[in-house]
Structure 1
Amino acid sequence: MSETDPRAARRDPSSSVGGFTDLATSPFRIDRDRIAASPFFARLGGVTQVVSAGGAGLLHNRLTHSLKVAQVARAIAERITGASESAELAAKLGGCEPDVCEAAALAHDLGHPPFGHLGEQTLDRIARHRFGLADGFEGNAQTFRILTTTDVRGPSAIGLDLTAAVRAAVLKYPWARLHYPEPHPTSMGTPPRGAAEPDGSPGTGAGKFSAYATELDDFAQARGPFTGRIEPWQQTVEASVMDTADDIAYAIHDLQDFHRIGVLQHAPVAAELGEWLDHALELASLDDEQVAAQLRRPGRSLEQLRRRMHLKDSWIADDDAFAAAVRRVQRELVDGLLENGFDGSIEAEQATAAFSANWTSRLVDGVFVLSSPSTRSGHVSLRTAQWHEVQVLKFVHRRFVLLRPDLALHQRGQASLVTSLVDALDAWLLDRDELGRLPRRLHDLVELAQDEYAGLVRTMPEVLVGATGERVEGADAVRSLARGRAVVDFVASLTDKQAVTLLDALSGRAAQPWSDSFVL
């Protein structure tokens, strides 16, 4: 990679000076090292993947998940660049450097707030409805904000000063919630995955996105080198590698976790898959209302998945491939891994490790590069068989883990905690008598956000709208938005334990003013 390659351009041209020492010489390896050294990366060890690990070390957290995604992403990238045909196609589309893919994979979850996706949904609702932030909160956009703005470990103390290639590779959903790019992908006949507006929320913008209005300049600069190579709404090849690796890791490792702690049980999974395989034709003859009304009965949820795949992903959905995927998952997960349970023995650990290794190898082997993908796919995709297998594996996780009532009870408590924490911090910011005793980090985030929103008023007022679409005008409105973004940034940067400890302190429940889990 030549030094003049536009993909290696950094956000700050002066990033090679300022007393910051990088150990590597490759610009993309430097990026990988800066991400790995970031405190935002370290905090992922205390952030929930699905449920809190509780210190037992049996469950993946966001850090261990990110490390495994990086491992898979590098393997995929090396596979692509190791074959002449795929390497040539990837180069035409903008490049596929293994270091870039690995760096993006390490960074992809930096923006996840405490308590995983539950925390993300809660902060988004608060940001939009309480603080009037039109682009709300989104974990992917928060990741991009950290890398370009709120982390201070780069030479300029604003973001990490990463190359354009790595910043672009983190853009899993390369658009803002509203406005950018134009035309916005929500208006497409078949929107890209994640770009459609949420059901029942017209006018709110894309359901998933990777940049807030405050980072649009960095977004545009990162995407600049890929203009004319890929569509404005399309992931770069390296982003597609990261996204595919995330799907593979998620489909396998969470199943391992819940098998090891006894949550994922043989009987209900076997009943669901077996019933569908034994009565696929009968289930296919039911109308949608009948299937929905019978979801508690085995086989119906899987049949609903099959229909949803045809509705949303007709470009690849295939009934024969779906049936083959169900049979493989039944054989290798149900009859293989789950049948004997997990008792902590050497044999059980070996079986779990073999399950992970075999599935990872099979899914990585199914990766290939597409020159003209569907709008629902990236340039890097899985072949038909493996794509269906990932859908079935993810279905098992969702149906038999995520939809459990006991997990819902746990998560409702976490949502209440996040809401109470935001309320307490906002009240502190509004208390003029306490301004001098605010946490320094929160104070700095307020000043940063005020500068950002004041700048947008001057340069891009069209993107600065409230949650209901009205134009934001006046110093008070800017201060209100800045306060909201700062509180959201602050809460999103906490670990699960820090969030609990801070709320205890703000609620008067802490027994002492100092805590080893949180430093103001």
Structure 2
Amino acid sequence: MVSEVPQRDPRARRRDEGAESGGFAELSSSPFRADRDRLVASPYFARLAGVTQVVSASGSALLHNRLTHSLKVAQVARSIAERIRSEPGVAALVADLGGCDPDVAEAAALGHDLGHPPFGHLGEQVLDRIARHRYGLADGFEGNAQTFRIVTTTEVGGPVPRGLNLTAATRASLLKYPWARLHRPKPHPSELPVPPRGAAEPPHAPGSGSAKFSAYSTELGELEACRAPFAGRIDYWQQTVEASVMDLADDIAYAIHDLQDFHRIGVLQHASVAAELGHWLSGRAELAALPEAELVDHHRKPGRSLEHLRRRLHVKDAWIADAGAFADAVARVRTELVDELLGIPFDGSVEAEQATARFSARWTARLVGGVVVTPSPSPRTGHVTLEVAQWHEVQVLKFVHKRFVLQRPDLALHQRGQASLIVALVDALDAWLTDREEVSRLPRRLHDLVELAQAEYGALAGEAPELLVGATGEPVRGADAVRALARGRAVIDFVASLTDRQAAAMLDAISGRSEQPWSEPSVL
């Protein structure tokens, strides 16, 4: 059922009021449903079919890409939103916290990965290093911040020339980490006694700012505007309820569906997962007595990595971590994932397909059934979270994925090649941008992004120069230095907007490895 929302509701306000025509047909009178439709109609959304989830799908129906992942997150998010809105006591609490419209939660889930660059998280890490170390962009690159930049700034196919002109509620719902890397808001969430999840700086990059954030300096005005309707309802650093629903739905989908994928293609092996979980269950008292250094040095011995996770949860998430709940979660995952699903190799048969479907349906229902809304959550979680049992189960499921998929040497080999590809493509585009004889023949999209970034950074230099600091923290001064920042942001925006195959094909063409002229209007 389409929700009815008064147009005067501050949550439904758009940045450019009165700019709702311009040839962009709306199929719904609900502003939030219209947001959902605008996101689905965006070419950035269609592009996600060609972006890696964990490994490149290469057209395989057995592996999720960012598009199919987003669709499943949306399914879970809408289910959670409808569930918490239907419970009388919970509905009143949610209204006090700023509201939870199922259309907004679904829109947030559909749009949450728009900013993912080619090759997924690997591409995100590489572009962040390039942005900070090569171009001196203190903001670097972050997929969530890139999503917010797309829907507010770089998307040009919507009803207005800049962004999708989404409602305040939907824009705010995309702010999984509602702060900038370094500058805003003040006090910065990283300075709180218990920093919110993602706000602390990564241990391997001291001085670089928050590990996760959802807005660059160029979009701080947009962040403040869309958060305004929630002032006094939630703390300045907290997610809106709809953002919290999206975040939790993303965790649930990730924990379940990526494991399905790697079972289907034979990567997730019964023996290794069974050994890890089984050894921990049978020897957890002895493992608990081991020194931390021994766990780290001998992490490949069965049970040790899982024990390291247990200890880490107690340090970082003392608000919910529980020894008994952790043991119960390991036992449940051992039974339902290892014994029941991985115990039968996937061979494409009806039996194997049905076992996979049952696993997904059972776990999705269990985790969604464990959703709770709390008025005063820990800074480490949102207002929408999970019961103790289900929370621990998600941690164990995600551990299996990380330990037995992401840490595989063959995946690392594949990803190192992808990292080299991205670096080489940025080098080639940057050289083209600085070639005075060839700059007039730049891809039109890249040219437009350069002009946009120059206008943005020029405005910051005049209005908020304190935000223009390099990666070392020193102020950026002078027109040439500001233009250099803008050039870097434009190149990063351009590369981040490509699919996996577009990035590879463009590098082949620009480096002379392709025998045929390469032409793709959406890129050139």
Pairwise same-fold verdict (TM > 0.5): yes
Could you say which residue in structure 2 is the equivalent of 1:69? 73
**Residues 517 and 438 of structure 1: is their aligned pair in 2 closer, same or farther, counting only changes over 3 Å?**
closer
Superposition deviation, residue 518 in structure 1: 6.9
For the residue of structure 1 that corresponds to 2:438, the secondary structure is helix
In structure 1, the gaps of 5 or more residues are none
Whole-Å separation in 2 of the counterparts to 1:43 and 1:212: 22
Whole-Å separation in 1 of the counterparts to 2:508 and 2:268: 33
Could you say which residue in structure 2 is the equivalent of 1:195? 199
Whole-Å separation in 2 of the counterparts to 1:200 and 1:124: 14
Select which of 12, 15, 19 maps to 1:8: 12
1:152 is aligned to 2:156: yes
Q: Which amino acid aligns with 1:75?
A: S
Select which of 350, 374, 377 maps to 1:373: 377
Superposition deviation, residue 355 in structure 1: 0.3
**Does structure 1 retain, via aligned residues, the 8 Å contact 2:177–2:214?**
yes
Could you say which residue in structure 1 is the equivalent of 2:499? 495
Worse-matched range after superposition: 197-206 or 503-512 = 197-206
Whole-Å separation in 2 of the counterparts to 1:283 and 1:299: 8
Could you say which residue in structure 2 is the equivalent of 1:484? 488
For the residue of structure 2 that corresponds to 1:381, the secondary structure is strand
Q: How does 1:244-255 map to 2 (within 5 A)?
A: 244-255=248-259
Could you say which residue in structure 1 is the equivalent of 2:513? 509
Select which of 420, 425, 428 maps to 1:424: 428
Q: How does 1:352-501 map to 2 (within 5 A)?
A: 352-501=356-505
Q: How does 1:137-286 map to 2 (within 5 A)?
A: 137-286=141-290
1:37 is aligned to 2:44: no
Superposition deviation, residue 47 in structure 1: 0.1
**Does structure 1 retain, via aligned residues, the 8 Å contact 2:48–2:499?**
yes
Percent of residue pairs identical:
72
Cα deviations by residue, 1:92-149 (Å, 9 ceiling, x for unpaired) = 0000000000000000000000001000000000000000000000000000000000
Q: Which amino acid aligns with 1:363?
A: L
Whole-Å separation in 2 of the counterparts to 1:20 and 1:267: 54
Whole-Å separation in 1 of the counterparts to 2:357 and 2:124: 31
Superposition deviation, residue 200 in structure 1: 3.4
1:28 is aligned to 2:32: yes
Superposition deviation, residue 190 in structure 1: 1.2
For the residue of structure 2 that corresponds to 1:422, the secondary structure is helix
Q: Which amino acid aligns with 2:246?
A: M
Whole-Å separation in 2 of the counterparts to 1:91 and 1:357: 30
**Does structure 2 retain, via aligned residues, the 8 Å contact 1:498–1:517?**
no
**Does structure 1 retain, via aligned residues, the 8 Å contact 2:142–2:212?**
yes
Superposition deviation, residue 474 in structure 1: 1.2
**Does structure 1 retain, via aligned residues, the 8 Å contact 2:42–2:158?**
no
Whole-Å separation in 2 of the counterparts to 1:19 and 1:267: 58
For the residue of structure 2 that corresponds to 1:433, the secondary structure is coil
Superposition deviation, residue 155 in structure 1: 2.0
Select which of 313, 320, 341 maps to 1:316: 320
**Does structure 2 retain, via aligned residues, the 8 Å contact 1:100–1:238?**
yes
**Does structure 2 retain, via aligned residues, the 8 Å contact 1:15–1:154?**
no
Could you say which residue in structure 1 is the equivalent of 2:50? 46
Whole-Å separation in 2 of the counterparts to 1:54 and 1:256: 17
Whole-Å separation in 1 of the counterparts to 2:386 and 2:465: 41
**Does structure 2 retain, via aligned residues, the 8 Å contact 1:497–1:517?**
no
RMSD (Å), alpha carbons:
0.9
In structure 2, the gaps of 5 or more residues are none
Could you say which residue in structure 2 is the equivalent of 1:130? 134
Worse-matched range after superposition: 8-17 or 271-280 = 8-17
Whole-Å separation in 1 of the counterparts to 2:522 and 2:166: 29
Superposition deviation, residue 436 in structure 1: 1.4
Whole-Å separation in 2 of the counterparts to 1:393 and 1:103: 26
Select which of 79, 88, 92 maps to 1:88: 92
Superposition deviation, residue 224 in structure 1: 0.4
Worse-matched range after superposition: 187-196 or 445-454 = 187-196
Select which of 286, 302, 305 maps to 1:301: 305
Cα deviations by residue, 1:299-319 (Å, 9 ceiling, x for unpaired) = 000000000000100000000
Superposition deviation, residue 325 in structure 1: 0.2
Q: Which amino acid aligns with 2:437?
A: D
- How many residue pairs match? The answer is 520
Could you say which residue in structure 1 is the equivalent of 2:111? 107
Superposition deviation, residue 515 in structure 1: 4.7
**Does structure 2 retain, via aligned residues, the 8 Å contact 1:195–1:208?**
yes
Q: Which amino acid aligns with 2:324?
A: D
Q: Which amino acid aligns with 2:232?
A: G
Superposition deviation, residue 154 in structure 1: 2.4
**Does structure 2 retain, via aligned residues, the 8 Å contact 1:73–1:242?**
yes
Q: Which amino acid aligns with 1:386?
A: Q
Q: Which amino acid aligns with 1:275?
A: H
Superposition deviation, residue 204 in structure 1: 1.3
Superposition deviation, residue 20 in structure 1: 2.2
Whole-Å separation in 2 of the counterparts to 1:396 and 1:73: 23
Q: Which amino acid aligns with 2:126?
A: T
